[in-house]
Amino acid sequence: MHTPTVKRTYLLWTCFLSCVSGTIQHATRQNTPPAITDPASLVLPFIGTTNGGHVFPGATLPHGMVKTGMDTDSPGNHAGYDGNSTFNATGFSQLHDSGTGGAVPLSNFKIWAFPNCTEFRHCPTSLDSRKVLRKVLPDGSPDDFASPGYFSTNLSNSMRVELTAARRTALHRYTFPLNTTEPRMLVDITNDGQRSGIDTTMTLDPMTGRVVGGASFAASFGPGRYNAFTCVDFKGEGFDLQKPTEWGAWLVDTPVLGTTNVAQIYLSFLNEAGGLLTFPPAPEGTQTKILARVGVSLVSTEQACQNAEEEIPDFDFERVHQDNRATWNDLLGRVQVDMTGVPLETAQLFYSSLYRSHISPADYTGENPKWNSSEPYYDSYYCNWDTYRTLYPLMSLHDPVVFSRIVRGMIDIQRHEGWLPECRGATAMHFIQGGSNADPILGEFFVKFNDQAESMNVSATDLYNALLADAELQPPNWNLQGRQVDLWKQLNYIPQDMFDAGGANTKQVSRTLEHAFNDFAISQVAKTMGNVEDGAKYSQRANNSFNVWNPDVVQPDRPDIQGMMQPRFANGTFNFTDPRHCSIHDPEQATCFLNAINRDGFYEGSPILYSQYAPHDTAQLLQLQGGVESFITRLDFIFNNNYFEATDEPSQQMPFMYHYANRPGLSTQRSRQVIAEFFNTSVNGLPGNDDSGAMGSYAAFYLLGLYPLPATRQFLLSSPYFPSISFFNPAFNSTTTIISNGFAGNPEDGTGGHVFVSNVTVNGEPYKSNCFLDWDVFTNGSTVELTLSEDINLTCGNGPDALPPSLSTGGYD
């Protein structure tokens, strides 16, 4: 976005590579590439910040609770910001999600500065009155800059605003235009993203300028509400700010001079309120810079103040920023790529995708108002349905300790609420999407880290009990808590015509397929624990995917494409949903979004897409679809006719499915075509919402030449976009390296190229498959060497274990 800075980064890296490794072109793979010590410089936080990406580009720690950023009046301001300069800035708020849908979440406690409103009582305090455009650069983009842990903007009223963050506290720096005589600071208590604040409190201290307050706000994607509190202190930078010269509470556009409490002026039907302060300016000839330290808590104003005082006692903007960036560099630097012969944009796309995989969920430990516990508390699971496929398997590779804390937090939620979280934001349950999709997340953790679980303080017993609650106990409101368990156990699918109290008559086919995968994850945990009986029981339930397979339904105009996942009634007969339903070819132009009157059975995907969805048993799917040739024909039909949905998670595995037909080259090409078509480093660089990092982690895997199946010990293998990649895993203190011998660059449109894997060795020994790697490869710090070729027709290999596992072929044991 901010062109000059991007160019600086580019020059730095060009120099770095040519200075350190001599030549950018054909460096031999024998030399260790220079370590990327400042991966944060390769992160472009503005990717996906306009036209529906809803990405948060402001300042946060990895999984930080406080995500401080600019809010705009864009209709797509789900993360506050919009990269389109036609939208006005409305405030700089403290909490955000990233890449979500629903109603605009969070965006609480906006701070605003007035450089020159003529008179205190005439300051335009309401959100609509105060907003201003940003400065616009010659290329039409706004004068905004962002890097991990830092955001800055120049507004058209000549205010400059910079933001950085600790975990629960933001630090803002407001630089006023030279000669500002009456710098004023506004604290907005009520205007979250939905303008939903009620039960507002606000008091200000005229002696210190401290403003504290809070309100009750609406949840984003469900019926609940949550309380949030703030504590704001101001300090001059480079001068002594002294106490305010004017102060008062404000209501809509009316600041009332001399008031200290919003209760003195509050009218319940006018719900915009906050505090306004005028400070003495910096000495003449120097610029007035005011720091605002903004503590946040979901418990109380006292705790918000305590958080601020503990986390940022010194108001030192540069220190907070540097600490934050160092934390990001430590995390991102665990994955190293060799950039030799690879365009800078590819490395930027990779590290930006990795970065976005660590925004959510957020670490709200100590801020859970619902119960006291010494366990970690994470929130902003928005939603597990989106993230379970790729985000957590990516964490397995390089961030296991945070992963273990998230798992502990989920188990603690189950202990207190009865069911694991599925969709959740700001402590409120949101509508479920597929069922209980924390199951494959816990499964992913336990199947891979069962030997380390105890030392990471994850109780295997509690983990398993939490899974069993999802699988066996009918919740009072499955629409918020998980699954339609009783019918699932009785019928072995979710029927279209029985929906239980509290639920909604929606997405029955999709839920059947997700419930089956949830049970697959449980079966893998049971087997890992040595519980043979439960392993068999839940494997059997995983097979329920195929109970909604109707072999008679045919794709219109394609009699050779026969058999589809379809809605089924409780009496066993099938209803019919057109295979094209809610695709771009749907004659009815339906969407398959969450909607209580949506009776078609499908969620964010057409029947023909969901007919590819049984990730734990693709071998069985392939048989049902008529064998290898017709399976490939069907996949090609889906891609060549634009049925594939790059924005919706059930499609994520599809480009890699050719692996199961022993045609890994076709997967390599499809996955690379998907990256070329749908992902780039621009503000428009995402096909849709980032979905709390679901798309970021998905793109990261594709660029790494890997694709995971959660709750298993395998990763599907293709070729990375870099001549070598490595993962440092703190749980094992080991580094795994994947080297592509004969790396010759990446085809720009993803088609063809010298990118197909013809041979794999691990630590110099021939490997059993060219199509997948076992988890062991990643735990003991192996060196994986790939031989590349231009032959797209290569297979997975000739050995008995060359094909990736599937449940029906005896896999995963």
Ligand X SMILES: *[C@@H]1O[C@H](CO)[C@@H](O)[C@H](O)[C@H]1NC(C)=O
Which residues form the interface with ligand X (CB under 6 A)? 2, 50, 73, 84, 86-88, 115-116, 118, 131, 133, 143-145, 152-154, 157-158, 160, 177-179, 370-372, 401, 456-457, 496-497, 569, 571, 573, 575, 577, 599-600, 733, 759, 761, 766, 791-793
Q: How far is CA 767 from CA 303, 467, 790, in A?
A: 55, 35, 20
Considering the complex, what minimum distance in angstroms separates the CB of residue 208 from ligand X? 26
Compare residues 87 and 778 and give the one whose CB is closer to ligand X.
87
Contacts of 702 (CB under 8 A, 6+ apart): 655, 671, 672, 674, 675, 718
Read off the tokens for 356: 């976005």
Are 719 and 701 contacting, i.e. CB atoms less than 8 angstroms apart? no
Closest CA to 466 of 417, 526, 406, 419: 419
Considering the complex, what minimum distance in angstroms separates the CB of residue 371 from ligand X? 5
Considering the complex, what minimum distance in angstroms separates the CB of residue 711 from ligand X? 21
Compare residues 175 and 479 and give the one whose CB is closer to ligand X.
175
DSSP at 177: P
Residue 234, SS3 per DSSP: strand
Read off the tokens for 781: 């710090």
Read off the tokens for 509: 């086919």
Read off the tokens for 167: 């975990």
Compare residues 407 and 621 and give the one whose CB is closer to ligand X.
407
DSSP at 804: P
Are 566 and 575 contacting, i.e. CB atoms less than 8 angstroms apart? yes
Considering the complex, what minimum distance in angstroms separates the CB of residue 472 from ligand X? 27
Considering the complex, what minimum distance in angstroms separates the CB of residue 689 from ligand X? 17
Q: How far is CA 288 from CA 115, 157, 159, 170, 538, in A?
A: 10, 15, 10, 20, 65
Considering the complex, what minimum distance in angstroms separates the CB of residue 674 from ligand X? 21
Q: Longest C-alpha distance within the chain, in Å?
A: 83
Specify the length of the chain in residues: 813
Residue 669, SS3 per DSSP: helix
Considering the complex, what minimum distance in angstroms separates the CB of residue 401 from ligand X? 6
**Helical residues (DSSP H) of 492-627, grouped into ranges:** 508-529, 532-542, 607-610, 618-624
Compare residues 268 and 733 and give the one whose CB is closer to ligand X.
733
Considering the complex, what minimum distance in angstroms separates the CB of residue 683 from ligand X? 8
Residue 541 phi, psi (nearest 5): -70, -30
Read off the tokens for 287: 């610029």
Considering the complex, what minimum distance in angstroms separates the CB of residue 317 from ligand X? 14
Helix H or strand E segment including 410 = helix 400-417
Considering the complex, what minimum distance in angstroms separates the CB of residue 143 from ligand X? 5
Closest CA to 422 of 368, 366, 484, 370: 484
For the chain, the 3-state helix, strand and coil shares in percent, each to the nearest 5, are 30, 20, 50
Amino acid at 736: T
User: CA-to-CA distance for 553 and 571, rounded, in angstroms?
Assistant: 19
DSSP at 654: G
Residue 175, SS3 per DSSP: strand
User: CA-to-CA distance for 167 and 310, rounded, in angstroms?
Assistant: 11
Considering the complex, what minimum distance in angstroms separates the CB of residue 597 from ligand X? 10
Considering the complex, what minimum distance in angstroms separates the CB of residue 128 from ligand X? 7
Considering the complex, what minimum distance in angstroms separates the CB of residue 804 from ligand X? 18
Considering the complex, what minimum distance in angstroms separates the CB of residue 761 from ligand X? 5
Compare residues 261 and 450 and give the one whose CB is closer to ligand X.
450
How many other C-beta atoms lie within 10 A of the C-beta of residue 326? 14
Amino acid at 1: M
Handedness of CA 345, 348, 354, 357 (dihedral sign): negative
User: CA-to-CA distance for 214 and 361, rounded, in angstroms?
Assistant: 23
Considering the complex, what minimum distance in angstroms separates the CB of residue 151 from ligand X? 9
Compare residues 343 and 766 and give the one whose CB is closer to ligand X.
766
Encode 568-582: b = buried (16+ Cβ within 10 Å), e = exposed.
beeeeebbebbbbbb
Compare residues 61 and 342 and give the one whose CB is closer to ligand X.
61
User: CA-to-CA distance for 502 and 391, rounded, in angstroms?
Assistant: 30
Compare residues 206 and 781 and give the one whose CB is closer to ligand X.
781
β-bridge pairing 734-741 and 783-789: parallel
Considering the complex, what minimum distance in angstroms separates the CB of residue 342 from ligand X? 24
Read off the tokens for 332: 């991102």
Q: What is the 3-state secondary structure (H, E, C) of 48-112?
A: CCCCCCCCCCCECCCCCCCCEEEEECCCCCCCCCCCCCCCCEEEEECCCCCCCCCCCCCCCCEEE
